[in-house]
Amino acid sequence: MITNRSSKGTFTLLTAVTACFILLPMMMFTFEVGRITLAQKELHAATDTAALAAAVAISKNAGKTTAELTDIGRNQGLIYMRRNFIYDQTLRNVNLGSGQTNNLGLHQGTINITYDPVNNIVTAQSEFCMDLAFGNLLDLGPTTIRSISKATTSGTSQSDIVVLFDYSQSMGSALIPARDEAATFVGKIPAGVHVGLIYFALNPETSIGLSKTQDNRDAVKNRLKSLTQMKSGTNTGDALLAAKNMLDGSGHSSGSKKIVVMITDGLARKPSNLTKGTAHALNIADQCKDSNITLYGIGFFHPNAGATAADGKNFMDKLQKKFGGDSEVYTVTNVTDLHNALDQLTHKGTGTPALIN
């Protein structure tokens, strides 16, 4: 039998050449595109938050000069930029020096926040230079990512928000990602908004009262992240009543909008009777409506939840109707949808300016 060894060797060589000079560069390029896309997404989210935080700060200091308001807005915007841009841990000033680089290769970044008093618009612009991991091999230099966001300062009013978190036993493995998403949500609420925390299962537990200080905000986030022990029962009615009492109490700021942001994974039970629990929760919802409280409810009906998505949506819809007004409810089945729902609430009805870009 005669074998053409020369042809086999040529084919092997061609395969190796193709892998080295075509497939490998394509894989490197795809990797770089993914990194750039991720960095761009995070930069845009952080720039949004910076613009909103600046707008809140400016709105709370009416009567000052334009220069003073611009400085106030810029300082507050930079604080939130540092706090939320997770790929820029080295950011300490407006301009990163060329010697500073973070874990994604971002450096020489600039952030510019301006205020237009005529149109009541705050504009935040950010720009960062990003080194490519395979830049030398691909013969590519650093790339620049940019983002611009605008927010309006008109019609801004202060709010009091009570985060109502269900840590009942049915949360199971979903507890940790849910509590972390809730903590991230709290961290994105701009300064000036009062925040309190109540978590509940069989009974509500008042963890942290209403306050607008950063220490209080950090305490709420840390307490959420520390929730591990789960208990049976989902006493939504008493939890809503506790939130109502907090919003009607001495910690409430006169004239502020009262808001409850509730995350739950089950139907109301009091303590184990579904019918009585639902009726009790709806009765408390009526009382909350009388106190002009707005509900933003998220039903997180994951696979191990205490209710199916259909039953849960039915219950959440009933709550929304009882609360009325601007109240909204969301039904989600996974952590990604939970994140997206909370992200929508970051600027919806929380007394913060709205993005206009």
Concatenated DSSP letters of 132-165 = -TTHHHHT---EEEEEEEEEE-TT---EEEEEEE
User: At 111, is the secondary structure helix, strand, or coil?
Assistant: strand
Q: What pLDDT is recorded for position 84?
A: 64
What pLDDT is attached to residue 225? Answer: 93
- pLDDT value at position 231? 73
- The residue-averaged pLDDT of 260-273 equals 80
| Strand order across the beta sheet in which 121-130 lies | 106-116, 121-130, 143-152
Higher-confidence residue: 154 or 278?
278
Cα 162 to Cα 302: distance, rounded to the nearest angstrom: 23
Rounded CA-CA distance 142/106 in Å is 9
Q: How many Å apart are CA 6 and CA 101, to the nearest integer? A: 51
Picking from 293, 224, 291, the residue whose alpha carbon sits closest to that of residue 260 is: 293
φ, ψ dihedrals at 119, nearest 5°: -100, 5
Average pLDDT, stretch 148-164? 77
Higher pLDDT, 177 or 65: 177
**Residue 262 banded pLDDT, cuts 50, 70, 90:** very high
Pairing of strands 106-116, 143-152: unpaired
Distance CA 269, CA 311 (A): 14
Instruction: Assess whether pLDDT exceeds 80 at residue 153.
Output: no
Percent of the chain whose pLDDT exceeds 90: 23
> For residue 182, what pLDDT is reported?
94
Q: Any idea which residue has 């998505």 for tokens? A: 309
For the stretch 244-256, pLDDT in tens is 999 998 877 777 8
- Across the range 121-145, mean pLDDT stands at 73
Residue 97 has pLDDT above 50, yes or no: no
Q: What is the pLDDT of residues 20-58, one digit of tens each?
A: 556 666 777 777 777 778 778 878 877 888 888 888 888
pLDDT at 35: 78
Reported as a single tens digit per residue, the pLDDT across 3-12 is 555 555 555 6
Cβ-count burial 187-210 (b if 16+ within 10 Å, e if not): bbbbbbbbbbbbbbbbebeebbbb
Asked if residue 250 lies in contact with residue 284, where contact means CB atoms within 8 angstroms, the answer is no
* Stretch among 67-81, 145-159, 176-190 having the lowest mean pLDDT: 145-159
Q: Please report the beta strands in 16-62, taking only residues with DSSP state E, as ranges in sequence order.
A: none
pLDDT band for 266, please (50, 70, 90 cuts): confident
* Per-residue confidence (pLDDT) for residue 150, from 0 to 100: 86
The bridge status of strand 121-130 relative to strand 143-152 is: antiparallel
- The amino acid sitting at 225 is K
Q: 3-state class of 350 per DSSP?
A: coil
* pLDDT of residue 237 exceeding 90: yes
- The neighbour count for residue 56, using CB atoms within 10 Å, is 28
pLDDT(270) > 70: no
For the full predicted model, state whether its pTM sits above 0.75: no
Query: Start-end ranges of CATH 3.40.50.410 in the chain?
Result: 159-345
Q: How confident is the model at residue 213 (pLDDT cuts 50, 70, 90)?
A: confident
Give, in degrees to the nearest 5, the angle at Cα 162 between 159 and 166. 155
Task: Tell whether domain 159-345 is in CATH 3.40.50.410.
Answer: yes
